[in-house]
Amino acid sequence: MLRDIIRKEILDNITSPKFVFTFLLCTILILVSVYTGVTNYGAERKEYTAALALNKKNLESQPNYNSLAGIGVKVNKPPQVLGTVVNGIEEAVGRVAPVNIAADPNLIDSKYSSNPVFAVFGPLDLMFIVKIVLSLFAILFTYDAIVGEKERGTLKLALSNDVPRDRLILGKAIGGYISLLIPLLIPLLLSLLILLIAPNIHLAGQDWLRLLLIFLMFFLYLSVFFSLGLFVSARTSRSSTSFLVLLFAWVVIVMVIPKLAVIVASQARPIPSVHEVTAKKDAFLQQIQQEGQKTAREWIQQQQTEAAKDPKGFQDRLRKYIEDLQQDLTSQIDANNAAIERDYQLKKGAQQTLAVNLSRVSPASALTFGSMTLARTGVDEFDRFLASVRSYKPVYTKWINSKFGESINFQTGEMATISIDDMPQHVLEPERLSRSLLRTLPDFGLMAVMILVFFVGAYASFLRYDVR
Amino acid sequence: MLEAIDLTKRYEDGMIGLDSLTLKVEPGEIFCMFGANGAGKTTTINLFLDFIPPTSGTALIEGIDVHKDPLKAKRHVSFVSENVMLYGNFTAVQNLDYFSRLAGKRSLTKADYGEVLTRVGLQKEAFDRRVKNFSKGMRQKLGIAIALVKDAANILLDEPTSGLDPQSGREFLETLVQMRDRGKSVFMSTHDIFRAKLIADRVGFMRKGRLVMMKTAKELEGADLTDLYIQYMEEEPPVA
């Protein structure tokens, strides 16, 4: 009997115009989004490789270490291959982090800054399609699952037989879910094929696992709306009421809660603005530079008698002194910036955590954060990259300071030509899957709990549903 | 056999849906229940199908208490409702197939479905047409076919002739008579006095949830059923 009910439900759905419409739209949207993702990734990869070569050439072309120290190095953020399906904040944050002695590294040159019109519409990635379009389809498939049968009189007719209600709701849920998956699975499989055959996409073993987990998250997200639809359908006596309730719930879940969470968090945990932080850093920089110049002048004055006696020895001592002073000043600046930054990051982190946790009440937020973590295109990956660049900065400044001191001939004022062969390189270790998975467990868990709650609600409601 | 023993339904708002109905519909009998809207006809059917629980009393199908063992009781009853829309995207045969499977009939062939559909007067060309394009009469015929294919000993019909054209109405009556002749107990709620008079073995009149009069076909001979209907609908229930 259960099989008959499932079969009927699938057949009823797939012969309906809404199925044809859903299938066509899903196929077009999903394929277009993956194709666009693949093309964009290819272009970004090319851009990244070109930027690396250009940076190297630019560094090598500097006449001396002084000018090298002036321009600093640029650390480029590599594009993530899974950005093809979950773009995350890849385009919103910068792609380059300049590292130099004076300033604290920050990401600049985002795609949105170069073409702000992108920011208006956002990316059409697979996550967006699932979050917005397919969740609406899930509602479309379920809003009249129970109440529609009541209106058609088929519920009475079915229950005039010895059909247990629990079996009927179970059959309807399974059949309805399969019907919803069909228009999703076929284009998703085609998308996987595109990823498999695209020449510029190279997915490692772990990337495939991440992709499967992202897809699993998509299915869980749609199941939340599916079970919610079933629940509301089993609680209402008119399909129009059911649709309106679900539409309202969708707007609240997908649109309102995530934005409200950010507003609440910013009010509850305020943080200083970026300008305030920069101003603080600049003030200290100016102060330390003035102190440094004063100290250097005093030292040279003290050493004048000695310099006249032994110019060669003085030059060596001066070189050593400048190198040490520079290192000391840089360390002080770094330490101060790090302290300001630490304080800012702590406050920002607390605000961010509050916003994320508040918004996780909505499965749409859980999907957004979870899938971005798995695709390595989220806020956490951006923070991780920036942290790695900031850890790299002292290593780089130490190297450039040593080179700077070594290369100056204080008598002639000449500077040695540069060599960047021994320049320390920035390395970013990719986050392990186990770590990403651990961080997405709350998202998986929350969605699973919601599915369970809504389904049990639908089940219990249907057992007492007035079929008249 | 369908039997109601002191069957009462009082709704949460205090309204009486059915007041102490005691009734027996024997095998091979057609019982037609008349009454204005809200008189309690559909409530009686809903109680026999366990769609609502009784406040007191018992509804029995083949001696099985419907409220105590609804699934077992429902094996012995078919139901034809008023204005059933069925599954519009399905053909007549697909609808029939689904409901016959729910009724436990799994071994029926397309030929069997064709035979039943022909019996209820559905045109052959309509068998594989989507039901959403059916007229009300055609849907009603399909609803009757669904009840027929279950082949239960008892049949409950809730205003089945509403919306049927004269030809379909006549075919429907013939089908009901065939069912009675095969020993089925038929309970039909209706406003259709003229058709009911042609086939009913007994009729009952309901008013405000109470069965206020019951007459056999023999007692109705020569009587004007319309006058009786109007008279009983207007009068206060007589003391039993």
Q: What is the pLDDT of residues A327-360, one digit of tens each?
A: 888 888 888 888 888 888 888 888 888 888 888 8
| DSSP run (H or E) holding B129 | none
Q: What is the pLDDT of residues A64-73, one digit of tens each?
A: 777 787 788 8
What is residue A209's predicted lDDT score, i.e. its pLDDT? 92
Report the range of poorest mean pLDDT among A129-143, A235-249, A393-407, B13-27: A393-407
Q: Is 80 exceeded by the pLDDT of residue B226?
A: no
Q: Chain A residue closest to B49 (CA)?
A: A160
Task: Find, among B204, B203, B195, B150, the residue nearest to B176 by Cα.
Answer: B195
Q: Which of B46, B86, B146 sits opposite A152 (nearest CB)?
A: B86
Q: In what order do the strands lie in the sheet with B185-189?
A: B77-80, B154-158, B185-189, B29-35, B202-207, B210-216
Q: How far, in Å, CA of A134 to CA of A184, rounded?
A: 8
- Which residues neighbour B179 within 8 Å (Cβ) at sequence distance 6 or greater? B148, B155, B186
CB-CB neighbors (< 8 A) of B74 in chain A: 160-162
Q: How far, in Å, CA of A348 to CA of A387, rounded?
A: 14
Q: Which of A12, A153, A467 sits opposite B84 (nearest CB)?
A: A153
Binary contact (B71, A164; C-beta < 8 A): yes
Question: A178 with A128: CB under 8 angstroms?
Answer: no
* Phi-psi group of A356: left, alpha or beta (phi > 0 → left; psi -120 to 50 → alpha; rest → beta): alpha
Q: Is 70 exceeded by the pLDDT of residue B19?
A: yes
Q: How far, in Å, CA of A387 to CA of B131, rounded?
A: 65
Q: Chain B residue closest to A165 (CA)?
A: B71
Binary contact (B102, A12; C-beta < 8 A): no
Distance of CA A84 to the CA centre of its chain: 12
Number of H helices, E strands in chain A: 19, 3
Whether A468 and chain B come into contact, CB under 8 Å, resolves to yes
Q: What is the pLDDT of residues B67-89, one digit of tens each?
A: 999 999 999 999 988 877 889 88
CA–CA min distance B148, chain A (Å): 13
What is residue A408's predicted lDDT score, i.e. its pLDDT? 65
Q: What is the pLDDT of residues A105-120, one digit of tens each?
A: 777 776 766 676 666 6
Q: What is the pLDDT of residues B167-191, one digit of tens each?
A: 778 888 888 888 899 899 999 998 8
Q: Which of B70, B74, B101 sits opposite A4 (nearest CB)?
A: B101
- Which residues neighbour B63 within 8 Å (Cβ) at sequence distance 6 or greater? B1, B3
Q: How far, in Å, CA of A299 to CA of A77, rounded?
A: 43
Q: Chain A residue closest to B99 (CA)?
A: A158
CA–CA min distance B6, chain A (Å): 22
CA dist B94 → A98, A155, A177, A395, B160 (Å): 69, 16, 21, 75, 21
The two structure tokens encoding residue A74 = 């640029």
* Phi-psi group of A174: left, alpha or beta (phi > 0 → left; psi -120 to 50 → alpha; rest → beta): alpha
User: Can you state the percent helix, strand and coil of chain A, rounding each to 5?
Assistant: 75, 5, 20
Whether A2 and chain B come into contact, CB under 8 Å, resolves to no
Task: Find, among A407, A346, A403, A341, the residue nearest to A103 by Cα.
Answer: A341
Q: Looking at residues A293-312, what average pLDDT do you find?
A: 83
Whether A165 and chain B come into contact, CB under 8 Å, resolves to no
CB-CB neighbors (< 8 A) of A464 in chain B: none
Question: B25 with B157: CB under 8 angstroms?
Answer: no
What is residue A66's predicted lDDT score, i.e. its pLDDT? 77
Q: What is the pTM of this model?
A: 0.83
Task: Find, among A375, A337, A333, A368, the residue nearest to A122 by Cα.
Answer: A368
Binary contact (B71, A152; C-beta < 8 A): no
**Predicted-complex ipTM score:** 0.89
- Which residues neighbour B111 within 8 Å (Cβ) at sequence distance 6 or greater? none
What is residue A453's predicted lDDT score, i.e. its pLDDT? 95
CA–CA min distance A163, chain B (Å): 7
CA–CA min distance B226, chain A (Å): 29
Q: What is the pLDDT of residues A250-259, one digit of tens each?
A: 999 999 988 8
Q: Which of B46, B85, B90 sits opposite A12 (nearest CB)?
A: B90
pLDDT category at B240 given cuts 50, 70, 90 is: very low
Show the domain range for A254.
Answer: 1-468
Q: Chain A residue closest to B83 (CA)?
A: A153
Q: How far, in Å, CA of A85 to CA of A83, rounded?
A: 5
Binary contact (B87, A163; C-beta < 8 A): no
Q: Is 50 exceeded by the pLDDT of residue B239?
A: no
CB-CB neighbors (< 8 A) of B52 in chain A: 466, 468
Please report, as a single letter, which amino acid is at residue B102. L
DSSP tag of A270: -
What is residue A100's predicted lDDT score, i.e. its pLDDT? 80
Binary contact (A161, B86; C-beta < 8 A): no
CB-CB neighbors (< 8 A) of B143 in chain A: 157
What is residue A234's predicted lDDT score, i.e. its pLDDT? 92
How many domains would you assign to chain A?
A: 1
Q: Give ∠ CA B152-B153-B156 in degrees, rounded to 5.
A: 80
Q: What is the pLDDT of residues A354-390, one digit of tens each?
A: 888 888 889 999 999 999 999 988 888 888 888 888 8
Mean pLDDT taken over chain A: 86
Binary contact (A158, B81; C-beta < 8 A): no
